[in-house]
Amino acid sequence: MNNVQLMGNLARDPKVSVTRTGKTLVRMTVACSETYKGRDGQAKEMTSFVPVTCWPPSSDLAQNFLKGDRVVVLGRFTTNSYEKDGTKRYYSEVTADYVGTVPKAAKAAAPGESFEDMGNAADDEEIPF
């Protein structure tokens, strides 16, 4: 079974191209961070930059993403090859089956702000039920 799940932020704007057959191809890099405890007991963070390729239908949505967007990717790990200067080279990436954005968390109320500071409440006698 070859399943990959990623959640992270786009490291740069996606690159959109069209193949000779007219399919939209989107390449993007997802920065995925994880926190772990180092030998000294302190929390450390490691970020991996994962190349992702999107084909239709996921490319239709991915082409609208922007650098910094928090995204989720479901797909599979693939290894491809190409030839450059007579040498065969290999690269690995995630081929996306599904992509989506993750909504940003709502901002909490400012410290010291209360419900009273947010305006007048309706009087109970004015409510029709």
* 44 in a structural domain: yes
- Residue 53, helix vs strand vs coil: strand
Strands 43-54 and 87-101: parallel
Q: 57: domain range?
A: 4-104
Reported confidence tier of residue 103, pLDDT bands at 50, 70, 90: confident
* Angle (CA) 43 47 53, round 5°: 155
Where is 18: in which H helix or E strand?
strand 15-18
Total domain count, the chain: 1
* 90 in a structural domain: yes
Reported confidence tier of residue 105, pLDDT bands at 50, 70, 90: confident
* 26 in a structural domain: yes
Q: Could you list the beta-strand ranges (E) of 55-104.
A: 70-84, 87-101
Please tell me what DSSP assigns to residue 8.
E
Residue 109 clears pLDDT 80, i.e. is over it: no
* 126 in a structural domain: no
* 29 in a structural domain: yes
